[in-house]
Chain A
Amino acid sequence: MSSETIQHRHLPDRLDKPLSAALRSWETLLAVVAVAIFIFNSFASPHFLNAWTLSDMTFNFTEKAIIALPMALLIIAGEIDLSVAAILALSSTLMGFAMQFGLGTPALVCVGIIVGLICGAFNGALVTGLGLPSIVVTIGTMSLFRGLAFIILGDQVYKNYPDGFEYFGQGYVAWVISFELVLFLAFAALFGFLLHFTTFGRRLYFIGRNPVSAQFSGVNVKRMKFILFCLTGVMSGVASVLLTSRLGSTRPSIAQGFELEAITMVVLGGVAITGGAGSILGVVLAALIMGLVTFGFGLLNVPGIVMSIFVGMLLIAVIALPILWKRFVWVLKK
């Protein structure tokens, strides 16, 4: 067979225009939802459109959202970490423990982050080393890590953190712009870059879609997953520094239920729970939406649990609508 007889077909890069694809994307939908809630809030409460109010609002989500960022990568890679809140509690406890020995603020931050790293590495080692499903492993470690915090601290409290420590959770970079918000946005940019513009991020999608074939293509799946668990641990440590600083004290019961909220942000942000799809922009928008909903309703003194109905419905609706819409269009075409 000679090559002249073959007419090579030209393969275009893509069929649809990037812009129209972007307009139809999940992120657009989320942005519309966020704007709608924002407008609703401004009409519903006279106190909403106020720089300080908006600034206070961000505290409702920044710490959870900081955990949601690495969680998004982890879920894209087909894993999950339910132990993040427990890591946060343990790392806060050990920070408090270290403080008793007179460590200064920078050292305490290191302790918090390193404890997070160790916990993450422990999860990662169990998942990648023994090949256990992460949901199962982290159900176990969520009890273990928080349990360790209880063993260390019992019914006691660590407080009187050193001067300067309160800045992380209570400080403002400028005017109403809090340190937590700036840190979150910086991390969001960093994770966005990592996921969407680097080879690391690209490989993540492959791992999420088909880990076996990724491995057969030379991707070191175990190492990458291990790194992701460590990253999630580290970011839980960072969140721990923020929360501990914001509360000014540590008890082993802090951050109860953070894991499900962080996961809700990730899923609402359009990250496929089955792995292999999702974006950081979506997660950021989802975090913002959750902040807008919880704080906006809070201003109206709607009980938190009623807001959670709203968040739950939003989660289901925002995921159901595109599916139903596509189906509707398909039926119309026929």
Chain B
Amino acid sequence: MAQASTISKSAPALTLSGISKSFPGVRALHQVNLSLYPGQVTALVGENGAGKSTLVKVLTGIYQPDEGAITLDGKRVTLSSAQTAFELGITAIHQETVLFDDLTVAENIWLGHAPRKRFGLIDWAAMNEKARAVLAQMHAAHIAPETRLRELSIANKHLVAVARALSIDSRVVVMDEPTAALSAKEINELYDLVALLKSQGKAILFISHKFDEIYKIADRYTVFRDGEQVGEGHLKDTAQNELVKLMVGRSVDKVFPKHHAKIGDVVLSVSGLSHPTEFENISFELHKGEILGFYGLVGAGRTEVMKALFGMTKPSAGTIAMDDRPLAITSAEDAINAGIVYVPEERGAQGLGTGLPIFMNVTLPSLKRTSKSNVLRLKNEFDLARRYTERLDLRASSLSQDVSTLSGGNQQKVVIAKWLAMSPKVIILDEPTKGIDIGSKAAVHEFMAQLVAEGMAVIMVSSEIPEVLGMADRVIVMREGLVTAGFENKNLQPETLVRAAAGIE
């Protein structure tokens, strides 16, 4: 511990002072200060929309701050472009995966600083070789540098993003929610990597909504609220609820509210559902008032099953019945009419009409109700949208704000509001709190509790064990496209789930 304090007294590698950044109508950052120290991990926490990702973009030269100064190793620098930041040794793993699907792994790692031959021509052989070395260093030798990125799993893609950050001798490494898309094993590998970077004396900024991991790997913290820096310090001196209080402005005590809904009859029964390449023989029943958790490692095929239930992919065999009546679901429209709705995993790509206002997004599936014989009624739409967005405590300037300017968590709220407005019978939530801050997480969970209390049935796909254990009544575990186990959530131990998901007997 003594060592840690001497390091913290050493000069910061990077200092941001008085940084502000505004977008039309939004003040994303206001006079924030932040210091990153070599060999230390600083955790940046804050609610959705607090300005964390904006800060990352300022740090990596993607956005230019309206005011403020950036000092790197005691020298003032201007990060006029992403290239400049990169050349100065600031690298980042961004919140959205920002890679090139149609380029090879090696190129994804080396794009922009590829090894050159004579006449400045790119040396492909050297590039592949160096990529292999970087990947080996990260224990990811199973990824061949020559493969097209498109062919990798999402987790492996993430590793490539990390490899890119390691491919130069960086001073500062920024990670914006790097574990949101990873499964337990990969998360642990990532922690090892962070430790390695730390030991190499790099300054690390780590953004996460998961407090357990923050406490596990970070040394210092900085808290943002509404674009302002509201606190910083050493984690070892700070308790978790203090952090939460700083973040949210109030205490959040029940992240997993107990719900006491009466579990009723079977609403949905699925039997023998199969798909040629993604899953096989999936059978389960879902009861009224029940939260059914689907657990598995990332890539286990849960999303594909849910997409089939929602009519987005065509199963090759099997039946779906609701209230004992068989359902023929061939499109999302059918599913919605039957009372099944789906909050997808990738909210930007699958959940939102980016560029369109909040209220239109919320009312899209409800248009039949808000319109009169297909003629729009704007007032009805605003009323409906307001009712549900306010219930979810959406942070926005108005109902006409473009959803693409909302932070990730608030975007998720818009998607949920859209489906709540439909009063469905079955609501499928795929990774509902991925990338969502603790306050909103509690709100979403609270909502799930309310939903089942109102007699709805909920399927919750989640890769987070605490969430599964905290919320689900029953848990189904999937692995490689098959259901491997089912549990009542009574005295269920995390290890049991992990074993079932990983296939360890």
Contact = CB atoms under 8 A, between A and B. Distances in A.
Nearest to A274: B355
A1 B393 CA distance: 13
A197 B252 contact: no
B376 A206 contact: no
Nearest to B341: A218
B254 interface: yes
Interface string B256-267: 010000000000
B5 interface: no
Contacts of B352: 210, 213
Contacts of B253: 1
B382 interface: yes
A51 B358 CA distance: 48
B353 A209 contact: yes
B385 to A, nearest CB: 8
Interface stretch (A6-14, A90-98, A178-186): A6-14
B353 A206 contact: yes
A313 interface: no
B389 A220 contact: no
Contact of A1 (B368, B371, B446): B446
A318 interface: no
Interface in A1-31: 1, 5-6, 8-15
A276 B254 CA distance: 41
Interface string B378-401: 000010001001110111111111
A197 B376 contact: yes
Give the residue among A201, A205, A216 with the most B Cβ atoms within 10 A.
Answer: A216
Contacts of B400: 13-15
A220 B394 CA distance: 28
A202 interface: yes
Interface string A203-246: 10110011011111111100000000000000000000000000
B353 A205 contact: yes
A43 interface: no
Nearest to B370: A199
Contacts of A205: 353, 356, 360
B250 A217 contact: no
Given A1-B252, A9-B395, A209 B356 contact: yes
A331 B18 CA distance: 21
B399 A216 contact: no
Nearest to B389: A11
B435 interface: no
A219 B364 contact: yes
Nearest to B349: A212
A213 B349 contact: yes
A198 B368 CA distance: 10
Contacts of A210: 349, 352-355
A16 to B, nearest CB: 8
A200 interface: yes
A214 B349 CA distance: 10
A11 B312 contact: no
A15 B397 contact: yes
Nearest to A201: B376
B374 interface: yes
A202 B364 contact: yes
Given A216-B342, A218-B365, A9 B393 contact: yes
A198 B399 contact: no
Nearest to B307: A216
A202 B356 CA distance: 10
A90 B25 CA distance: 52
B374 A199 contact: yes
B344 A199 contact: no
Given A1-B446, A217-B365, A200 B374 contact: yes
Contacts of B353: 205-206, 209-210, 213-214, 217, 276
A11 B367 contact: no
B444 to A, nearest CB: 11
Given A15-B397, A202-B376, A206-B364, A1 B443 contact: yes
A205 B376 CA distance: 14
B480 interface: no
A209 B351 CA distance: 12
B82 interface: no
Contacts of B367: 199, 202-203
Interface in A242-281: 276-277
Interface in B388-420: 389-391, 393-401, 418
B350 A218 contact: no
Contacts of A215: 312, 332
Contacts of A214: 353, 364
Contacts of A220: 331, 333
Contacts of B442: 1
Contacts of A9: 390, 393-395
B375 interface: yes
Interface string A320-334: 000000000000001
Given A205-B356, A206-B364, A210-B353, A11 B398 contact: yes
Contacts of A198: 371, 374-376
A202 B370 CA distance: 12
Given A12-B398, A14-B400, A220-B331, A276 B356 contact: yes
B351 A216 contact: yes
A56 B312 CA distance: 52
A203 B395 contact: no
Nearest to A7: B393
A212 B347 CA distance: 11
Interface in A87-146: none
Contacts of A216: 310, 312, 332, 342, 344, 350-351
A205 B335 CA distance: 22
Nearest to A15: B398
Contacts of A1: 252-254, 257, 442-443, 446
13 contacts: A15-B398, A15-B400, A199-B367, A199-B368, A202-B364, A206-B364, A216-B312, A216-B344, A218-B336, A218-B365, A276-B356, A277-B355, A334-B66
Which 5 residue pairs are nearest across A and B when measured between Cβ atoms? A14-B400, A199-B367, A218-B336, A206-B353, A218-B332
Interface of B: 25, 66, 250, 252-254, 257, 310, 312, 331-333, 335-336, 342, 344, 349-356, 358-360, 364-365, 367-368, 371, 374-376, 382, 386, 389-391, 393-401, 418, 442-443, 446
Given A6-B443, A218-B332, A334-B66, 20 more contacts: A8-B393, A11-B396, A12-B398, A13-B399, A14-B399, A14-B400, A198-B374, A199-B374, A200-B374, A202-B364, A202-B367, A213-B349, A213-B354, A214-B364, A216-B332, A216-B350, A216-B351, A218-B364, A218-B365, A276-B356
Interface of A: 1, 5-6, 8-15, 197-203, 205-206, 209-210, 212-220, 276-277, 334
